[in-house]
Amino acid sequence: MVAFTGAGISLSAGIPGYDMCWRGIPLRQIMTRKFANRYKEIYKDFYQEIMGWLDKEPTRAHYALAKAGVPVVTENIDMLHQKAGSKKVIELHGNLKEGIVLLGDSVRNWERAEALVTSATHLLVVGCSLEVKPAGNLPRIAQEAGAVVSIINEDADERVPKWLADTLNLEKHVSEVN
């Protein structure tokens, strides 16, 4: 099992989604290479403010994935998976400490992410619009490789722990029967 996460998993931690605004400017616009290059001072202010995300705490969904030992491919830059205790996290868009990938930049760790999802029997997608490419292609890639893909985009803090418990118990039961 592998998880692929986006901004929706971190909303209840107080981190805005990609479709929200900062000082009236859509994050979707700010987080582009073109914007960062053209409006350097505004982008610098934005980046200084989002450094506060390092003080945020993981959500119940982050902790559930870590406790279950599920490897994670994430679009998120907030490092909450690592803070929750996840051991294997592949960051496609970097992180706040080492620098972030903006739209217009090449994603990081693509080959590792693609290899991980193509080896999965289950891909749990959490909080992803699947609009940002190439990351948004990962569920299709996993499905084409034979994985069952499940998507949780609402109420992740409630639904992810329950989904993991139900799925892992089912897998345990199946392996006991075999």
pLDDT digits (tens, 9 = 90+) for 37-83: 999 999 999 999 999 999 999 999 999 999 999 999 999 999 999 99
Q: What is the pLDDT of residue 168?
A: 84
Query: Exactly one of 62, 93, 122, 173 is catalytic; which is it?
Result: 93
What confidence score (pLDDT) does residue 171 get? Answer: 58
pTM check: above 0.75: yes
Inter-CA distances, 98 with 9, 23, 118, Å: 21, 25, 27
Name the residue with tokens 């929706």. Answer: 8
Residue 174 has pLDDT above 90, yes or no: no
In this predicted structure, what is the pLDDT of residue 175?
A: 44
Determine the length of the chain.
178
Domains and CATH numbers, the chain: 2-15+53-177 (3.40.50.1220)
Q: Which helix (H) or strand (E) holds 54?
A: none
Q: How many CB atoms lie within 10 A of CB 47?
A: 15
**122 annotated active-site:** no
pLDDT tens digit sequence for 115-170: 999 999 999 999 998 888 899 999 999 999 999 999 999 999 999 999 999 988 75
C-alpha dist (Å) from residue 136 to 6, 52, 113, 149, 159 = 10, 27, 12, 13, 21
